[in-house]
Structure 1
Amino acid sequence: MEKKIAIFQHVANEPAGYFETIFEEAGIQFEYINLYDTGEVPCRINASHLVFLGGPMSVNDEKDYFWLAQEKELIRRSAKTGRKVLGICLGAQLIASANGAKVYPFIQETGWHALCRAVEATGAFNAFPDQFRVFQLHGETFEIPYRGRLLAYGDRVRNQAFSCRNALGLQFHLELTGEIIRDWSKDLSAFQQLKIERDTPRYIAESNRLCRRVAEEFIGC
């Protein structure tokens, strides 16, 4: 099958961001499935790769958002077919939940935070530095699924990145651009806005570089 990426978007202001740039440069087609408009996962998805983006809802809110259950089932089916899956924030929690791991409310993390690469890290994370900064915006966390592998961890919220068979889950946001960060920051407190405004020029170039490593591993460049 020719490479094609289906991107599952949960809210209008959480796009794939910098991943779009990398996919376009690689000449790989991608299409958005806007669940906030359609309310359901299509029966047939003509794609070799699946990306599940973030959103403010919980993976446990299936009664309010029925498509969450559909996404989890799609993730489980993809493990059998070998179709590659990438999950970001809510997307990572979907991967964890689809594989039987608990997802639950925890410490709120907002802005740029330091993480560590796990000793047992594989794939794109082999090329990550021992410590790195990423942008966070979440209030829930997840357990690592059975047979999953921890790839990166934090001091306050331990489980930050993991692999599980065909899937890669990132609790943090490597996809962000300056424009997206400004949009996400506008409703935060003045203190948080100032801190993010100060930190972003220091860390976003490295975040983009790490995003490229993850994207190229994901699409097999």
Structure 2
Amino acid sequence: MAEYDTSRTSRRTVLLAAALTASCGAPTGRGATAAPPPGCVLTVEAGEGPYYLDLDKVRSDITEGRAGVAFRLDLTLVRASDGCRPLADAAVDVWHADAAGDYSTAKATFLRGTQVTDAAGRCTFTTIVPGWYAGLAPHIHFKVRPDSGKGVTSQFFFPEPILRQVYARHPYSRRPAPAHPNERDGRYRETGSTMTLAPTAESAGYRAAYTVGVA
């Protein structure tokens, strides 16, 4: 796998929420203003990288039979600049590497997909835990494309203890994994904690939820 093109990484600041929807209520009481609540935090947007494909392949299950540890990602989109109100009818693209660290390119479409958020701003992807490659922390890319306003492009990371457990299992164990999959990546050390998921065990895999606040 080729090195990630860091020259394409954007350093623009966007609003992302690192809290659950419950913490994103609108202000209440007389004279209340629509300022973003404490649950909405500022972070740095990540570039889409060299492997983004604008496919508009609408589907929730993006595995296409790719082997790996099952992972379910539940996303909730909110307008962070409008009291964290749900963002409905927004397209969300997700893409990432397989267990061997390879991305689908050309005519292949594995581990890529698009969902449109419902009235509550929610969508779900069924996939696998991504493999590692190059000198980067394992990650899942996502792009939010609302019908109006500015979107968000960023990536999710995983806690190292979970990665070490996953990479000891088949098919990831076919190659020796880095002792510290995340900490070797300077970009992760700078901003990764904000975008690190908190997966919980589910059946033979994991599940995680995240609320993304769009400016």
Q: Common fold, TM-score beyond 0.5?
A: no
TM-score by length of 2: 0.29
Bigger CA radius of gyration:
2
**Higher share in helix:** 1
